[in-house]
Chains A and B, each alone.
Chain A
Amino acid sequence: MRAKTLYDKLWDEHLVKENPDGSSVLYIDRHVLHEVTSPQAFEGLRLAGRLPWRLDTNIATPDHNISTDRNERSAGVSGIPDLVSRIQVKTLDENCDQFGIKEFKMNEMGQGIVHVMGPELGATMPGMTVVCGDSHTATHGALGCLAHGIGTSEVEHVLATQCLVTKKMKNMRVTVHGVLGCGVTPKDVILAIIGRIGTAGGNGHAIEFAGSVFRDMSIEGRMTVCNMAIEAGARVGLVAVDDKTISYCKGRQFIPKGKLWVDASSYWQTLVSDSDAVFDLEVVIDAADIEPQVTWGTSPEMVAPVTALVPDPLDEAEEDRRKGFTRALEYMGLQGGTPITSINVDRVFIGSCTNSRIEDIREAALVVDGHKVANSVKQVLVVPGSQMVKAQAEAEGLDKIFEKAGMDWREPGCSMCLAMNADKLGVGEHCASTSNRNFEGRQGTGGRTHLMSPAMAAAAAVAGHIVDVRDWLPRGEN
């Protein structure tokens, strides 16, 4: 039998029908919904007189468009000040109620950013196909499932048929060998990968992340990595199942128990690429070459080690790149040749589906503990990814560390990652951000985003400018 990659195995397991032209009907096990990309899909169902194919596959929660402010949140949905936003969140509630879909409502335990909520509740499991109307659905691939973002028409398609019509992607493997240095985090690994292969490097491919760095990495770290596969152009990011995956899943709310658990977990152990499987594209990176990373431009591939200088566009040989770099630096208000560590920050955002899990919050708290936010920094938002992360962080007293330092400890949601709610940058403001996109205007019109790890963002908040967190960490900490 032909050797298979993990992606091949997941694909084959879910293939309902393959057409002669290669387009295929793929079965979907788990469908995650949120308020922004679902209303038009539900409306489509109603207009066509259709019902969801299966109810127990869907799970919903509001995250993109809700306030993270404690007072506004405590007033419930009717307390959302922006009328248009309020209607959108209410529409999700009404659609889920009408069609009988399980929803964790805005202030319910369980609510959170879709890609934090799914894994932590055990709603996403190894071996599943998982889709959501959000490009960061690749996150769930950290559990060894086939997960990717879809558009709203496809949300409707999955609701109505439990299937997607899609074409198989190619296989790509990114291997990172060795051991990460002190202060180098999963975020730095994925940013370094994007820096190497570019934002279109993974187009048309499913990327499997392999090698000792990912084997040694926690499941939450793997989620950070898979989350940003889309920033490398790949809809799908994957990590093979191992003992860490199995123990992460065990005991979570929707994870099977008893005999089902025994059967499921023994099947999950098979979810690895065969040792002789062939990948269409291979990239190999040495962990020793990865330093803490910071983006300096307006695309995630415009990234450099914190020790570097902002590149000079004139050094770029290719005209397209030179033009792109020039435009980016103009938008960012930066000069080529400026040390990255001399960039001042006006605001700091710690959160998003990339970096808002408990390990991220702990990483930031470790750096902040005992310090104060620099006077020049206007605001530091620390936004836990879910109600469960929030509760855990508060049980550990982490919220107090942030508040003592002068930071805002918020309610769970997507917040300033995409700035649909009131959490946003002003024109020209620089932000040290743990989110995933530094596009023009992404965090607010005219805002200037620098992507980095939670530890690096926390250190920038204290210093008032970008710093190399390795100079800040107590010895022996990683």
Chain B
Amino acid sequence: MEAFTRHKGLVAPLDRANVDTDMIIPKQFLKSIKRTGFGPNLFDELRYLDQGEPGQDCLNRPINPDFPLNKARYKGASILLTRKNFGCGSSREHAPWALEDYGFNVIVAPSYADIFYNNCFKNGILPVILEEYEIEDLFIEVEKIPSFQLDVDLVSQTIITDSAKEYNFELDEFRKDCLIDGLDEIGLTLQHADLVKKYEEHRENRHPWVFGAIK
């Protein structure tokens, strides 16, 4: 995973609460056994007017002109501004894979569904949480100001707008460190392999039925 410290980019608004992972990447694209290539089908049902199928050439599909990502002013956006409970529903990691593949590095919302939030960090995406009124302010600015950008600094946990407003955000120390260092989390856990083995022996003594049942 690539390290993430600071990101400045164009903001695209998705003014909708409870955006679920079926909406982010519909199920027909979950048949793939790869991690990449989901970007063209991000928000497929909202973005295109026809029915999406895997393997289509998306460049020739009829697009929904009303969908924000299809508007010229939001082309090349790398920051998604959206509403509460983003990423609810299924645990599919294909959702952050699709967002990342499309080119989003940062999401800004008042809240996220737990599994989706977790999945973002595994894929170098920073899901920023701001207060509802701050989100409201940003929606107004992104609508008003052409080419509205945000400068997101993970190290200092701040966002600075083009209009020089500053917002602070919170996140867990561990998640922050993993993003900043681009750490291999499996490698990190394996550094504690001795502890895990010790725990496992202890557990097998106490609850032996948990071990060996499935062969």
Q: Which of A48-91 contact B (CB under 8 A)?
A: 48, 50, 53-54, 56-59, 64-65, 82, 84-85, 87-88, 91
Bitwise, B72-86 to A at CB < 8 A (1) or not (0) is: 000000000001110
Contact B196–A204 (Cβ < 8 Å)? no
Instruction: For A163, give its contact among B113, B123, B196, B212 (CB under 8 Å).
Output: B196
Q: Which of B28-51 contact A (CB under 8 A)?
A: 28, 30-35, 45, 51
| Least CB distance, B26 to chain A, in whole angstroms | 6
Bitwise, B179-215 to A at CB < 8 A (1) or not (0) is: 0000001101110110110011001000111111111
Q: Is A248 an interface residue (CB 8 A)?
A: no
Inter-chain CA distance A25–B186, complex, in Å, is 11
Contact A418–B27 (Cβ < 8 Å)? yes
Q: Which of A157-189 contact B (CB under 8 A)?
A: 157, 160-163, 165, 167
Inter-chain CA distance A77–B105, complex, in Å, is 38
Inter-chain CA distance A260–B210, complex, in Å, is 10
Q: Is A246 an interface residue (CB 8 A)?
A: no
Residue of A nearest to B30 (CB): A36
| Least CB distance, B74 to chain A, in whole angstroms | 20
Contact A27–B91 (Cβ < 8 Å)? no
Q: Which of B84, B88, B192 has the most CB of A within 10 A?
A: B88
Q: Which residues of B are found within 8 Å of A128, using beta-carbon distances?
A: 210
Contact B203–A37 (Cβ < 8 Å)? no
Take A25-B195, A233-B114, A437-B22 as given contacts and tell me if A153 and B31 are in contact as well, using a CB distance cutoff of 8 Å: no
| Selected interface stretch from A305-313, A334-342, A440-448 | A440-448
Give the contact-size bracket for chain A. 35 or more
Contact B208–A260 (Cβ < 8 Å)? yes
| Least CB distance, B95 to chain A, in whole angstroms | 9
Instruction: For A125, give its contact among B27, B186, B193, B210 (CB under 8 Å).
Output: B210
Contact A153–B119 (Cβ < 8 Å)? yes
Q: Which residues of A are found within 8 Å of B96, using beta-carbon distances?
A: 151
Q: Which residues of B are found within 8 Å of A84, using beta-carbon distances?
A: 31-32, 54-55
Number of contacting residues on B, CB 8 A? Answer: 63
Q: Which residues of B are found within 8 Å of A419, using beta-carbon distances?
A: 27
Q: Which of A75-122 contact B (CB under 8 A)?
A: 82, 84-85, 87-88, 91, 102, 122
Q: Which residues of A are found within 8 Å of B193, using beta-carbon distances?
A: 161
Inter-chain CA distance A9–B119, complex, in Å, is 26
4 A-B pairs with the lowest CB-CB distances in the bound complex, closest first: A153-B122, A39-B33, A256-B209, A21-B173
Excluding A21-B174, A163-B189, 10 further A-B contacts by CB distance (< 8 Å) are A19-B174, A27-B199, A36-B30, A40-B93, A151-B96, A152-B35, A199-B88, A200-B85, A320-B17, A441-B23
26 contacts between A and B (CB under 8 A): A19-B174, A39-B33, A56-B215, A57-B214, A84-B55, A91-B33, A134-B91, A135-B89, A149-B115, A153-B119, A157-B185, A161-B186, A161-B189, A161-B193, A161-B196, A167-B172, A200-B18, A200-B88, A200-B113, A261-B209, A418-B90, A437-B90, A440-B22, A440-B23, A441-B45, A442-B22
Residues of B within 8 A of A (CB): 16-18, 20, 22-23, 26-28, 30-35, 45, 51-52, 54-55, 83-85, 88-93, 96, 111, 113-115, 118-119, 122-123, 172-175, 185-186, 188-190, 192-193, 195-196, 199-200, 203, 207-215
Residues of A within 8 A of B (CB): 16-17, 19, 21-23, 25, 27, 29, 36-37, 39-40, 43, 48, 50, 53-54, 56-59, 64-65, 82, 84-85, 87-88, 91, 102, 122-123, 125, 127-128, 133-135, 149-154, 156-157, 160-163, 165, 167, 199-200, 203-204, 230, 233, 235, 254-256, 260-261, 263-264, 267, 299, 320, 324, 327, 418-420, 437, 439-442, 445
